[in-house]
Amino acid sequence: MIKSIKQWTLPKDKCIDCHKKIFCSHISEKICKWGIHESEYDLTKPGILIIDDNEGICSFMEDDLEELDLNGRINLDDYNVFTFYDKMCAYDLLGTLSRMDLNIKKAIIDITYGGTVISEAGNIKLNGVDVFEVLYEMHPDLKYVFYTGNQMNYNIKVIGQAMRKYTKITGKKITDNILFKTQLSMDGRRDFFMKTIFNELEMSKKSNISDIVGDIDDLDDIFEEIKNP
């Protein structure tokens, strides 16, 4: 059901300027760790992003989306699902977004990642708010949740920086859009995703129209009363 980004590699001597700039990780003899084959995606569809440096967590999130689809609460056929994982996931995502717009309208974002890029400007370590900032600038109507196991404490340097940056971008507290990884049961987590990243229209779109407007016979009676008060 879910067709995620496919992993591929390209020898360095075949490298072309893809505008990854500082976000190209170059962590091995291969580059372009993640690549989009545009022909495989209808990028007019909205995208759902799952990004976490733990592949297992990403797998759980994909399972949640598939279960919501099976239960008729969302329709995954209406979306592309893009999953970025491992310690360099933030760099790989931003490198991809520098080349093409994945039309990401919904996102489940981890806050801290293990990877660091060494550049002439110094060490660069991205976090989930850095990812959010790029997504939000591209699509201000983004619906998102930060899914994290971190303690949200201003006294923790990396966390504090991310929290303050989020407030500067949005004027809001990041804690209003956080789900802690140990906070809810599986069903509770899925309900939370429905409330935060899927709107009411999508929640009801597979419902029978009669559930919304009533039986046709009842409507006929109402129209008749309107015409003949």
53-66 per-position pLDDT tens digit: 998 999 999 999 99
CB 144 within 8 A of CB 106: yes
CA distances, 128 to each of 3, 52, 74, 111, 143 (Å): 23, 9, 25, 4, 14
DSSP annotation of 142 reads -
Domain 10-227 CATH superfamily? Response regulator (3.40.50.2300)
135-190 per-position pLDDT tens digit: 999 999 999 999 988 888 888 888 999 999 999 999 999 988 999 988 888 999 99
